[in-house]
Homo-oligomer: A and B are copies of this chain.
Amino acid sequence: MDYAFETIIKVRDYETDSQGIVNNANYLHYLEITRHEFCEAAGTSFAVMQREGLDPVVRKIEIEYLSSLRPGDSMRSCLRLRRRGARFVFEQDIFNAATGSPVVTATVTVVCLEGGRLGRGDLLAKAFEKYL
């Protein structure tokens, strides 16, 4: 399957918990880092959007944990983007960079507030047009 963007992220030792594996909440950080880097690759940034009155907010996340990452591991974090009206759906997969094993698969739904109200998403769609 084709992805619109991918990046490599290395596990930080403090991200593991007492089970010796990366704590489940940190994967939301990895997913967010990937979306924000994708924004930058697309020529915009979270900070720029906020200055323009656009406020993308996460509405829903579905995440499946398929295998664990440990200290020393690196991951390949990939995403694909679809628009559904005012909703932007990120399909995000993380793989163990060394073995290629799937680690998590997630669907992240983002809506865009414009001036504090739910926007139609046209401004965001314009920013990402070549990826949609």
A131 interfacial contact with B, CB 8 Å: no
Task: State whether A61 touches B24 (Cβ < 8 A).
Answer: yes
Alpha-carbon distance between A107 and B89 when the two chains are bound, in angstroms:
20
Task: State whether A25 touches B18 (Cβ < 8 A).
Answer: no
A51-59, A80-88, A90-98, A122-130: which lies at the interface: A51-59
**A interface SS class:** mixed
A120 interfacial contact with B, CB 8 Å: no
Task: State whether B13 touches A16 (Cβ < 8 A).
Answer: no
Task: State whether A25 touches B17 (Cβ < 8 A).
Answer: no
- A37 — nearest CB in chain B belongs to which residue? B10
Q: Choose among B17, B46, B60, B70 the residue that contacts A63 (Cβ–Cβ < 8 A).
A: B60
Alpha-carbon distance between A51 and B47 when the two chains are bound, in angstroms:
22
Q: Which residues does chain B contribute within 8 Å of A70, judged by CB atoms?
A: 47
> Which A residues lie at the B interface, using CB under 8 A?
12-14, 16-20, 23-26, 28-29, 32-33, 36, 45-47, 50, 55, 57-65, 68, 70-72
List 12 A–B pairs whose Cβ atoms lie within 8 Å, in order of A's numbering: A12-B33, A13-B17, A13-B18, A14-B17, A19-B57, A25-B25, A25-B32, A57-B68, A58-B65, A59-B65, A60-B62, A60-B65
